[in-house]
A and B are shown apart, each in its own frame.
Chain A
Amino acid sequence: MKIGVLAIQGDFAEHIVMLKRLGAETAEVRLPDQLSGLDGLIIPGGESTTIGKLAEDFGLLEPLRKFGKTHAMWGTCAGAIFLSKDARRNQPLLGIMDITVVRNAFGRQVDSFEADLDLPELGAGGPYHAIFIRAPIIESVQGSTKIIASLADGRIIAARQGKMLATSFHPELTRDARFHQYFLSFIK
């Protein structure tokens, strides 16, 4: 199994470490032709405006949209924003997942936090410790999108639509590989 990580900007190296731990082959993706031969793609955390702008400048938007129609794709934080249909702001998006997101929904960096979540989708292993960095929330989901996790106050922080996954937190910053394992299970 070969998983690409979009390596335009952000914490792509952290995702690669996690994928290698799980025995997957990995590839950094910066240009459209690097998508060929991949079974799935992760869009990492970073700055969504930077990632969007460079994806546009290097002709990646259409190839990524096409890839997402047939392959597993997961966006963490900035990556989730990039996947969304609507980020309430004018910036380049893939627009392939039926979610509306709100950027920096918890405030500025001093409001960034860690919290334990109940995540039945991940199966056994106890609560999932999640790290939120200037995180977005998923304000609403549409179409066939399913909510995977919410905070106690009901705000949505993870969602899945078919083989597409969006999380407002960063499993790649933890040592808990369950979320990456979950994503790999989308790929037959």
Chain B
Amino acid sequence: MEQQTGTFTVKKGLAQMLKGGVIMDVVTPEHAKIAEEAGACAVMALERVPADIRAEGGVARMSDPDLILRIMDTVTIPVMAKCRIGHFVEAQILEAIGVDYIDESEVLTPADEENHILKHNFKVPFVCGCRNLGEALRRVGEGAAMIRTKGEAGTGDVVEAVRHARAVLGEIRRLTTMADEELMAYAKSLGAPYELVKETKELGRMPVVNFAAGGVATPADAALMMQLGVDGVFVGSGIFKSGDPARRAAAIVKAVTHYNDASILAEVSKNLGEAMVGRSVSVMPEVEKMAGRGW
């Protein structure tokens, strides 16, 4: 009875177990505990949430492995951690300490402006950001086992998350109505691998799990993304930069499960205290935007 580890099926499989759930950014073991108790299906362990990375500036890198390990020791749910785009040695380190998922993330300062990590080379699965279907399928082509739309991290402004989810899901809808002979030209225009374009058409959905990220701050934001058609939600700064993180975290979890039930959404939206202050993306200078990192 031979056991095979690190297959694409088991990498993709963990993301399938996360569906319908909320993945929360945490910077301490105490945060991780609060997230788990609120019902998070996984946590993202990092030193600074995106809002602080924005505020403090400088180069943002992989977090201290000791911090990640302490968070892994605290919770039983999966623990994810971020490496820089193209920084395959940070990824090797995260794999060596046993994180459950690596986010090759535009929130950190890119290490390579041309190439992403060849993710097929790893046993640990990767999630990557995208703004459209072409970018998503390029990442899957490199071995990403899960995709998240980028949004604009650390802003608390959901507008970019909506833009990117609408782009991806709209392109998939268009694809499903195309004739097979049109797929090569569409693959060319998307800049995406033909085989994955074909597979996406056949499945009528992204070939891997697709979450939303970048700007979700309220239960209504989370339910909005779910109704648009994503499989689950990442919440970064939105929880621990708010007035009452435990309460808000639990409310967002409930909103993702009951995303189609407006009376439950109304109930869970009550008395959450202050939401994160946020920054409007429409008046933000281009150079401050993270979503443009990677291609």
Contacts and interface: CB of A to CB of B under 8 A. Distances in A.
A133 B13 contact: yes
A50 B100 CA distance: 17
A54 B100 contact: no
Contact of A134 (B78, B95, B254, B258): B78
Interface of B: 1-7, 9-10, 13-14, 16-21, 36-42, 72, 76-78, 95, 98-101, 123-125, 253-254, 256-258, 261
Contacts of B18: 46-47
Contacts of B40: 50
B154 to A, nearest CB: 25
Given A8-B20, A134-B78, A173-B9, A115 B14 contact: no
A46 B100 contact: no
B120 to A, nearest CB: 15
Contacts of B7: 113-114
A104 B37 CA distance: 18
A115 B9 contact: no
A104 B21 CA distance: 19
A1 interface: no
Given A54-B257, A115-B2, 9 more contacts: A10-B21, A12-B20, A30-B257, A50-B39, A50-B253, A110-B6, A110-B100, A113-B10, A151-B1
Interface in A97-119: 103-104, 107-117
B2 A49 contact: no
A132 B42 CA distance: 18
A117 B1 contact: yes
Contact of B4 (A13, A113, A173): A113
Contacts of A89: 76
Contacts of A112: 5, 10, 13-14
Contacts of B39: 9, 49-50, 53-54
Given A108-B98, A115-B1, A131-B9, A45 B258 contact: no
B98 A110 contact: yes
A124 interface: no
Contact of B36 (A9, A49, A108, A117): A49
B276 to A, nearest CB: 23
A77 B254 contact: no
B77 A152 contact: no
Contact of A104 (B19, B76, B95): B76
A109 B2 contact: no
A121 interface: no
B20 A10 contact: yes
B20 to A, nearest CB: 4
Contacts of B14: 109, 112, 133-134
Contacts of A131: 9-10, 13
Contacts of A107: 98
23 contacts: A7-B257, A8-B20, A9-B257, A12-B20, A30-B258, A45-B17, A46-B41, A47-B17, A47-B18, A50-B41, A54-B254, A103-B76, A104-B76, A110-B5, A110-B6, A112-B13, A112-B14, A114-B4, A115-B1, A131-B13, A132-B10, A134-B78, A173-B16
A57 interface: yes
Nearest to B123: A110
A77 B9 CA distance: 16
A170 B38 CA distance: 26
Contacts of B253: 50, 53-54
Contact of B78 (A8, A13, A109, A117): A109
A143 to B, nearest CB: 27
A112 B9 CA distance: 10
Contacts of A53: 37-39, 253
A8 B255 CA distance: 11
Contacts of B123: 110
A110 B95 contact: yes
B1 A9 contact: no
A86 interface: no
A11 interface: yes
A104 B72 CA distance: 13
A179 B78 CA distance: 27
A47 B13 contact: no
